[in-house]
Structure 1
């Protein structure tokens, strides 16, 4: 068994290989003049662990090519971040259910699939091979514990993410709540913890994904106005599109914490051990 990865998941894949006490396969990536992807892998095993976050369409194509290059029914696929997972419904005639289309193509040439904190586990039904989702919520909690904050308040940006926030908070037995929006007028909205007070506290806003960071940036300013001492942002998948990191820091966020499912400078925790455990536990 060896580990192989797409171009943008090299660090995580190497950590997974280390956790599994195996080797990572070298892959050469290039493009033809017309933009088509080309890759050539080094020495392969009969059983390959293929690791690749779908962070963009190039990564998606690379992952499909890797699956075909490995060419074994024993391949096991790990997709730490699954783009298109939020496109799971059809709102208008003629729209695709995009995650279903992606799941169909990823289900060929692999024996099983592992994802990490996928946006909604219901989409796993679209894979035609066994698929499971694992969580690094407790790893986020473990990192927060090392920050040695005094009675931190863990907040989710809405009630839909409250279960995730509760998993994070369970590590330290911390208070947990979710932000509630109150519309004050046609243009003015107030956000505050639904039940608990932020005054004099270290607040960590946690979510599975931080994409544009707009909601968290707005909430941060309001939390400071409500007396919060400091505000942090933590997530599993740091998509951080459209200048999101700078937007968060400009809002007064003390630090942004993410995992290495998407490899960023703020990737302070690794999903590697969770992945290795999932692959070796039946």
Structure 2
């Protein structure tokens, strides 16, 4: 077995290869004069693992080229962050089901696919090959436990994320709840936990993805008004688009932690052990 990777996933790939005790393959990259990408991955193994988070269009093109390079090998494709997964149905007439288009293109010639906390697991069917969605809720919980926070309340930003929050809290016996919006008038909305009072408590809001951080920022300011002592956030995929990270800090979050599915400065949590464990099965 040998591990190779796209450019934006090299740190995670290195960690996975280290846990597995297998070689980390070399991928040589350059540009043609017109800007097109050139790749070369020498010394391939008969059993290849490709690690690639689809964080931007360039990563998708790079992954397609790597898949073609490994044609004829037994390929396990690991997509820690699956871009386009949130466009999983037609919301308006004339729209593509983007994840169907992307997944069907990537599944050709692949032995199996692994993803991490994909937004909607049912879309795995579009790969057309065996596919498994891993969760690192436990790793998020372990990270929070390591921060020495006194009896934190784990909050999901909405009811849909409640299961993930419960999985984060479960091993540690922490209180868990989800946030609800209550409309007071045509212009006024209150966001607060469904059941638990946050007064005098430390709060950690957890979710699979933080994108712009707009909803979480509003929630943090309201939780502070409700008497929360300390407010933090933790997620699997930290996108932080449109100044999302800075927006959260301005809103009063004392810390924002994400995982290495998208490599950035807030990547304090590693998905490598979960991925390596699945690869060994």
TM over 0.5: yes
**TM-score band, normalised by the shorter chain?**
over 0.9
Question: Which deviations, in whole Å up to 9, do the C-alpha atoms of 1:130-161 show, x marking residues without a partner?
Answer: 00000000000011111111110000000000
Q: Kindly state the Cα deviation for residue 89 of structure 1 after the two structures are TM-superposed.
A: 0.6
> What does residue range 124-139 of structure 1 map to in structure 2 within 5 Å?
124-139=124-139
SS at match of 2:177: strand
RMSD: 0.9
Task: Give the Cα–Cα distance (whole angstroms) in 2 for the partners of residues 163 and 172 of structure 1.
Answer: 15
Gaps spanning 5+ residues in structure 1: where?
A: none
Hey, what does 2:179 align to over in structure 1? 179
Hey, what does 1:240 align to over in structure 2? 240
Hey, what does 1:166 align to over in structure 2? 166
Question: Which deviations, in whole Å up to 9, do the C-alpha atoms of 1:90-140 show, x marking residues without a partner?
Answer: 122321111000110111121000000000111011111100000000000
Matched, 1:66 2:63: no
Task: Give the Cα–Cα distance (whole angstroms) in 2 for the partners of residues 73 and 130 of structure 1.
Answer: 16
Question: Which deviations, in whole Å up to 9, do the C-alpha atoms of 1:238-268 show, x marking residues without a partner?
Answer: 0111111111111110100111000011101
Task: Give the Cα–Cα distance (whole angstroms) in 2 for the partners of residues 58 and 200 of structure 1.
Answer: 46
Task: Give the Cα–Cα distance (whole angstroms) in 2 for the partners of residues 200 and 187 of structure 1.
Answer: 28
> What does residue range 98-113 of structure 1 map to in structure 2 within 5 Å?
98-113=98-113
Contact 1:72 1:110 in 2 (8 A): no
Task: Give the Cα–Cα distance (whole angstroms) in 2 for the partners of residues 104 and 172 of structure 1.
Answer: 39
Q: Kindly state the Cα deviation for residue 73 of structure 1 after the two structures are TM-superposed.
A: 4.0
Task: Give the Cα–Cα distance (whole angstroms) in 2 for the partners of residues 119 and 187 of structure 1.
Answer: 30
Contact 2:232 2:254 in 1 (8 A): yes
SS at match of 2:178: strand
Hey, what does 1:153 align to over in structure 2? 153
Question: Which deviations, in whole Å up to 9, do the C-alpha atoms of 1:144-185 show, x marking residues without a partner?
Answer: 111111110000000000000000001211000000001122
Hey, what does 1:228 align to over in structure 2? 228
Hey, what does 1:55 align to over in structure 2? 55
SS at match of 1:278: helix
Matched, 1:19 2:35: no
Question: Which deviations, in whole Å up to 9, do the C-alpha atoms of 1:54-84 show, x marking residues without a partner?
Answer: 0010001111111111123401100000011
Matched, 1:3 2:3: yes
Contact 1:179 1:194 in 2 (8 A): yes
Farther off after superposition, 262-271 or 89-98 = 89-98
Task: Give the Cα–Cα distance (whole angstroms) in 2 for the partners of residues 23 and 245 of structure 1.
Answer: 35
Matched, 1:192 2:188: no
Q: Kindly state the Cα deviation for residue 33 of structure 1 after the two structures are TM-superposed.
A: 2.9
Gaps spanning 5+ residues in structure 2: where?
A: none
Task: Give the Cα–Cα distance (whole angstroms) in 1 for the partners of residues 122 and 70 of structure 2.
Answer: 28
Hey, what does 2:271 align to over in structure 1? 271
SS at match of 1:204: strand
